[in-house]
Amino acid sequence: MMNERTPHDSAYKNFFSNPEMVESLLRDFVPADFIRDLDFSTLERCSASYVTDDLRERHDDIVWRVSWKNGSWCYVVLLIEFQSTPDYWMALRILSYTTLLLLDLVKSGNVSEYEGLPSVFPIVIYNGGKAWKSPQEVAELFAPMPESLKFYRPQQRHFLLDESRVSKEELDKSEGLVAQLLKLERAQNLEQVRDVVKELLTQLRGAEYVSLRRAFSVWLGRVVFKRSGITQDVPEFQDLQEVDAMLEERAAQWKNEYIQQGILAGRNEGIAIGEVRGEARGEARGLGRGLQLLLEARFGTLPSSVISYISNSSDSSTLQNLMLSAYHVDSLQSFMELMKNKK
């Protein structure tokens, strides 16, 4: 069955259709010596028309080639995986992609027996919620076999970029384009989004970056803002300058609207709880629920001490003030300090 594509999928394919993103990926996230031997000025996208439809059902694929400094080619096969769970058979599918690529090069006369087959470096970019535990080496997919037979089984390993496993410290050390993309993925408020947009504007000056600026602009409008709860009045951006100007103009308005919506939702839920249970704490319970949801949306899983504090709070005014603070603070630690001061 064909998988339904999301705006996230197509946006990422647009990103890695730009040579600057591929270079950033290889330089900043592949800890291997051979990267130094590549001439990135030769990066060139290749057709992948040989890939069968059944392989494309689950993955977006992009193929590049880049010259070694000695003049021969290295092919880079990118597979973008946005399913919620890892594909256990990915290593086998990668082997299929690699085989089809090499057979196509032989068939088209681009390699000869004298030259030998070119190098192929397969990369999987994974954005799913569950940790990747599938084998990266195709040989590990085989059932147990006699030791003497292992010599004949296929072997190929792919490089994995599991975005959720990239540490904050690693991102903070890098100013590369792929790092900026991941920072946008993790942005917890519009101020952080704007910081990255300004950095991108600095890096992507010049007419040669029009396509990449456009890719970031479209992605911000379709994915980042809407995921942040902003669903209205988001225009179809054409360039990052438009995004920056809009953020300056509307950020305060959006934040206030978002906060007020959270307060209203919490209050309505609280009134409903109060009506059902006949409890005076109904409104406080609803506000507490709204506060917890807002904190989880910004900072992920909450410590038990925070959940306990919210659950046991009965003062609606305090909870409302904490909800306002929850949107503005830079970190969960800062919020917890505010929380302690209100005890």
The answer to whether residues 159 and 22 belong to one domain is: yes
The answer to whether residues 270 and 164 belong to one domain is: no
The answer to whether residues 60 and 162 belong to one domain is: yes
In the prediction, which pLDDT does 144 show? 95
> From CA 216, how far away is CA 82, in angstroms rounded?
18
Q: Is residue 269 part of a domain?
A: yes
The answer to whether residues 159 and 302 belong to one domain is: no
Asked if pLDDT for residue 329 goes beyond 70, the answer is yes
In the prediction, which pLDDT does 1 show? 36
Domain boundary among 117, 138, 170: 170
pLDDT band per the 50, 70, 90 thresholds, residue 247: confident
The answer to whether residues 295 and 157 belong to one domain is: no
Domain boundary among 144, 170, 196: 170
Taking residues 130-135, what's their average pLDDT? 89
The answer to whether residues 135 and 35 belong to one domain is: yes
Q: Is residue 226 part of a domain?
A: no
The answer to whether residues 164 and 276 belong to one domain is: no
> From CA 280, how far away is CA 307, in angstroms rounded?
20
Contact by Cβ (8 Å): 338, 329: yes
Domain of 163 in residue numbering reads as 7-170
Contact by Cβ (8 Å): 315, 323: no
Q: Which residue, 136, 159, 184, is CA-closest to 76?
A: 159
Domain count, the chain: 2
The answer to whether residues 145 and 287 belong to one domain is: no
Task: Give per-residue pLDDT as tens, 285-328.
Answer: 777 877 777 777 667 678 888 888 888 887 878 887 887 787 77
* Whole-number percent of the chain with pLDDT over 70: 77
Q: Which residue, 202, 168, 203, 199, is CA-closest to 185?
A: 168
More confident residue, 213 or 270: 213
Taking residues 94-121, what's their average pLDDT? 92
Task: Give per-residue pLDDT as tens, 58-67.
Answer: 557 889 999 9
The answer to whether residues 137 and 281 belong to one domain is: no
Amino acid letter, residue 115: E
Is residue 157 helix, strand or coil?
Answer: strand
Q: Is residue 59 part of a domain?
A: yes
Asked if pLDDT for residue 45 goes beyond 60, the answer is yes
pLDDT band per the 50, 70, 90 thresholds, residue 2: very low
Residue 137 DSSP label? B
In the prediction, which pLDDT does 337 show? 84
Asked if pLDDT for residue 232 goes beyond 80, the answer is no
Q: Is residue 218 part of a domain?
A: no
Task: Give per-residue pLDDT as tens, 136-173.
Answer: 999 999 999 999 999 999 999 999 999 888 888 888 88
Domain boundary among 143, 170, 197: 170
In the prediction, which pLDDT does 43 show? 96
The answer to whether residues 143 and 267 belong to one domain is: no
Q: Is residue 239 part of a domain?
A: no
Asked if pLDDT for residue 264 goes beyond 70, the answer is no
Please enumerate in sequence order all residues whose Cβ is within 8 A of that of 69, keeping only pairs 6 or more positions apart, or say none: 37, 38, 39
pLDDT band per the 50, 70, 90 thresholds, residue 29: very high
pLDDT band per the 50, 70, 90 thresholds, residue 36: very high
Taking residues 264-279, what's their average pLDDT? 56
The answer to whether residues 117 and 263 belong to one domain is: no
Q: Is residue 247 part of a domain?
A: no
The angle, 0 to 180 degrees and rounded to 10, between the axes of the packed helices 304-312 and 332-341 is 40
Amino acid letter, residue 299: F
Asked if pLDDT for residue 267 goes beyond 80, the answer is no
The answer to whether residues 23 and 165 belong to one domain is: yes
Q: Is residue 123 part of a domain?
A: yes
Q: What is the pTM of this model?
A: 0.72
The angle, 0 to 180 degrees and rounded to 10, between the axes of the packed helices 177-186 and 190-203 is 170
Asked if pLDDT for residue 124 goes beyond 70, the answer is yes
Q: Is residue 138 part of a domain?
A: yes
